[in-house]
Structures are given as C-alpha cells and as structure tokens.
Amino acid sequence: MFCGCMPQLGVRNAHVHHKSLITASQLSRMPSGLLTALKVAPPESWQERMLRNEHAVSLAASSGWGRHWPALLAAGLCKGSEAYVIATEFIDGRPLDPAVDAQLLLAAQEALDALHSLGIAHSDLRPANWIVQQPQGGEQRLWLLDFSHSRVGASQQEMQADEAALLRMFNVR
C-alpha cells in the first residue's frame, strides 16, 4: 500500500506494509538522496502508541541527533491508511556484540550520559538497540536506536536502571 503522507513528509517512493502484531520497518530515500529508515504502525494500535512515544522522545533528544542516535526526519499520520509513520536517518552497520565490541563500552556510556543529561531514560538497552558503524577507512561509531520504550522526565531510579542494564550487557560487574 502506498503511504499518502510520505510525499508531504519529504519521502518519495515509500511503500509500507502493515504486519500483524509488529511494526513494519523499511528503507526509503528522501528527495536529497538520504537513505531513511521508516517505521510504520497500524492505526489505533499499541505499536502506534510506541511510535508516538518514540517521536516525542526523539524531539526531546534532538541535541544528540547525528552524534549518538539517528536524526528524526519526519513523523505523522498517513492519509488514507491513517498509519503512523516515523522516518529517521538510516545507519548502515551491524548490531552491537558486547563480547566482540568491548572497546565500545565508553562510547555507549557517552551516549547514555548524553541521553540522561536530557532527563530521558532509554529503558530498553540491549545489543539490538545499538548499531556499530564502520565507515570505510574510519573509526567505529556506536549509535543508540529505538526510543519507543523511553521516558522523558525520567527518575534517577530509571536512569540508574539504564546504567545497570548497560553494564550487564557488557558483562561488567
């Protein structure tokens, strides 16, 4: 199904497919040629609530766009299907493997500290929500993804839970 809001959001040639019980994800290109990651949720679903939360958290975390997490490019309802869509900068890389990527613990702590300095707890820290990017001829970069479980105005306890989850993920005692 073609998503009618994508041209309004600046995304061309985007076709989205609803999947039962999960949010559909796919790639598309902005008119500038920038590759984007699209997340699409069926209307009035728990997935839509998660994407709306991710949208709000991404706006609150805009100071980290392009440094620690991908930039939010567009978000909104698709006319016709009424699906909720978020378009973010696509990061080409692989999921974090803490056993192999132990040297990235400091980068992960920096990203988490940046998020916490904004009063946001991620609340879903796991290897699949980190992408390791290895630019050709460049240093590895670590990107934090998926703010659908995150909370703006998080308590100190929620942020400490994030820190504990990060240390557990890297097997640091």
pLDDT per residue as tens digits for the range 29-49: 777 788 888 898 988 899 999
Alpha carbon 172 to chain centroid distance?
25
Give CA angle at 137 (128, 28), nearest 5°: 50
pLDDT for res 136: 83
> Does the pLDDT of residue 15 top 60, yes or no?
no
The answer to which of 20-34, 48-62, 107-121 has the lowest mean pLDDT is 20-34
The answer to which of 18-22, 33-37, 161-165 has the lowest mean pLDDT is 18-22
Residues of the chain with CATH 3.30.200.20: 24-89
- The DSSP symbol for 69 reads B
Q: Residue 135 is encoded by which pair of tokens?
A: 């630019």
Q: Is the pTM of this model over 0.85?
A: no
Domain 94-169 has CATH 3.30.930.10: no
The C-alpha atoms of residue 112 and residue 157 are separated, in whole angstroms, by 14
Alpha carbon 155 to chain centroid distance?
21
The C-alpha atoms of residue 161 and residue 83 are separated, in whole angstroms, by 33
> Does the pLDDT of residue 28 top 70, yes or no?
yes
pLDDT for res 22: 34
Q: Which residue has the higher pLDDT, 1 or 167?
A: 167
The answer to which of 80-84, 95-99, 113-117, 154-158 has the lowest mean pLDDT is 80-84
Asked if 94 and 131 touch (Cβ cutoff 8 Å), the reply is yes
Asked if 111 and 145 touch (Cβ cutoff 8 Å), the reply is no
pLDDT for res 138: 83
Asked if 48 and 57 touch (Cβ cutoff 8 Å), the reply is no
The CATH topology of domain 24-89 is Phosphorylase Kinase; domain 1 (3.30.200)
Residues of the chain with CATH 1.10.510.10: 94-169
Please provide the average confidence, as pLDDT, over all residues in the chain: 85
